[in-house]
């Protein structure tokens, strides 16, 4: 124990001993300024270790651990939205003849018209204003496109031509046919064959010629009368087509003749005929009386009227749709 002043030893209440437990010299403990330097060195070492640890963690980033350390966290934020679509490039204006850029021409239905195109009339017969339309009933169909000074009748059959509209600004004329709602028979020409129902609103269509349908004997356009047809010929029938709003300009009247099985259907009283086949199934044709072997002794529009013909032989026929055009003829042998 010290008996007086400070000799450099620190009395901390005991002595530090060695392993033996007794008799060892006391060990000097450092203090004062020497202890402060050691603490500073230790602090720097700790800071360097922390800096190295942070630097290592920074190199790992958000990509997950490659060693035995704790795995990095995975982001749960939603993915970035897709980029806006890039619009198609706008074509440059087409250069004109003088080299200047110009916009493409707008569609021109009249200037670009071709056979088979259809137009609706939004104007009047005297002031036409054609607009493109689908090809249905009640519109005009282009039959031909001809030069402005040309005559459509030189290019289109008369029965197929209903209007000719000239466009001098385009240098052309549209040859047009009206698409009637009552059928294609509207454009039938003389000699064509047609057929339809007996009702007033029935459709009539062009068809191949055969027994039981009708041949067009005459075609009357614009203003006309049934008196203009030959209604005295056996088998006569008429069919008219009108177009509202056009006056008589587009009206058509067809004078029709029934296509009978043979000439007996159009024969009249005392007509000479050449009969072939059997009496039960005869066929008749027109011929001179010098060459005929039978003649017509009677005729009625009633079907299978044997009593009317008795005691002469008879032949009969009718169309179920047009029973009033049926007949029974009576015939006798000619004595040559």
Residue with tokens 């124990």: 1
CB distance 328 to 269 below 8 Å: no
- Is 77 exposed, middle or buried (CB count within 10 Å of its CB: 0-12, 13-18, 19+)? exposed
Alpha-carbon distance of 289 to 282, in angstroms, equals 18
Range among 6-10, 53-57, 88-92 with highest mean pLDDT value:
88-92
* Average pLDDT of the segment spanning 157-181: 95
* Average pLDDT of the segment spanning 308-331: 97
Alpha-carbon distance of 217 to 222, in angstroms, equals 17
Instruction: Parse the chain into domains and list their residue ranges.
Output: 118-178, 184-258, 263-333
CB distance 298 to 309 below 8 Å: yes
CA 68 to chain centroid:
70
Q: What is the pLDDT of residues 232-253, one digit of tens each?
A: 989 999 999 999 989 899 999 9
**Better pLDDT: 265 or 79:** 265
Q: What is the pLDDT of residues 136-168, one digit of tens each?
A: 999 999 999 999 999 999 999 989 999 999 999
* Average pLDDT of the segment spanning 54-63: 48
Alpha-carbon distance of 276 to 282, in angstroms, equals 6
CB distance 236 to 257 below 8 Å: yes
In three-state secondary structure terms, 321 is coil
Alpha-carbon distance of 301 to 215, in angstroms, equals 20
Does 230 score more than 80 pLDDT? yes
| Strand 163-167 to 130-132 pairing | unpaired
Alpha-carbon distance of 329 to 322, in angstroms, equals 18
- Please give the mean pLDDT across all residues of the chain: 81
* Average pLDDT of the segment spanning 252-278: 97
Q: Which helix (H) or strand (E) holds 59?
A: helix 33-60
Return the percentage of the chain with pLDDT > 70, whole number. Answer: 69
Q: What is the CA radius of gyration of the chain?
A: 57
Q: Which residues contact 300 (CB under 8 A, 6 or more apart)?
A: 308, 327, 328
User: What pLDDT does residue 79 have?
Assistant: 56
* Average pLDDT of the segment spanning 122-131: 91
Alpha-carbon distance of 14 to 3, in angstroms, equals 16
**Better pLDDT: 31 or 225:** 225
Split at pLDDT 50, 70, 90, the class of 47 is low
Q: What is the pLDDT of residues 268-296, one digit of tens each?
A: 999 999 999 999 999 999 999 999 999 99
User: What pLDDT does residue 200 have?
Assistant: 83
């Amino acid at each position: 124990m010290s008996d007086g002043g400070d000799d450099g030893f620190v009395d901390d209440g005991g002595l530090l001993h060695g392993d033996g437990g007794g008799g060892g010299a006391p060990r000097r403990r450092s203090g004062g300024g020497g202890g402060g330097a050691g603490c500073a060195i230790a602090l720097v070492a700790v800071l360097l270790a922390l800096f190295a640890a942070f630097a290592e963690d920074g190199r790992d980033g958000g990509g997950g651990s490659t060693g035995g350390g704790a795995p990095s966290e995975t982001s749960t934020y939603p993915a970035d939205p897709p980029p806006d679509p890039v619009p198609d490039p706008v074509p440059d204006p087409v250069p004109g003849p003088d080299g200047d850029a110009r916009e493409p021409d707008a569609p021109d239905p009249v200037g670009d018209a071709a056979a088979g195109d259809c137009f609706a009339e939004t104007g009047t017969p005297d002031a036409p204003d054609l607009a493109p339309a689908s090809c249905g009933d009640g519109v005009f169909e282009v039959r031909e496109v001809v030069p402005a000074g040309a005559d459509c009748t030189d290019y289109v059959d008369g029965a197929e031509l209903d209007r000719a509209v000239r466009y001098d600004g385009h240098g052309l004329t549209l040859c047009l046919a009206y698409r009637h709602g009552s059928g294609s028979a509207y454009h039938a020409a003389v000699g064509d064959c047609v057929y339809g129902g007996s009702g007033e609103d029935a459709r009539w269509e062009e068809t191949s010629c055969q027994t039981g349908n009708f041949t067009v004997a005459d075609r009357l356009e614009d203003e006309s009368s049934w008196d203009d047809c030959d209604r005295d010929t056996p088998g006569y029938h008429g069919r008219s087509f009108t177009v509202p709003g056009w006056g008589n300009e587009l009206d058509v009247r067809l004078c029709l003749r029934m296509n009978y099985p043979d000439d007996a259907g159009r024969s009249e009283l005392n007509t000479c005929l050449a009969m072939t086949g059997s009496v039960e199934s005869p066929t008749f044709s027109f011929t001179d009386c010098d060459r005929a072997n039978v003649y017509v002794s009677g005729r009625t529009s009633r079907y299978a009227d044997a009593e009317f013909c008795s005691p002469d032989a008879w032949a009969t026929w009718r169309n179920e749709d047009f029973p009033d055009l049926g007949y029974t003829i009576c015939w006798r042998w000619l004595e040559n």
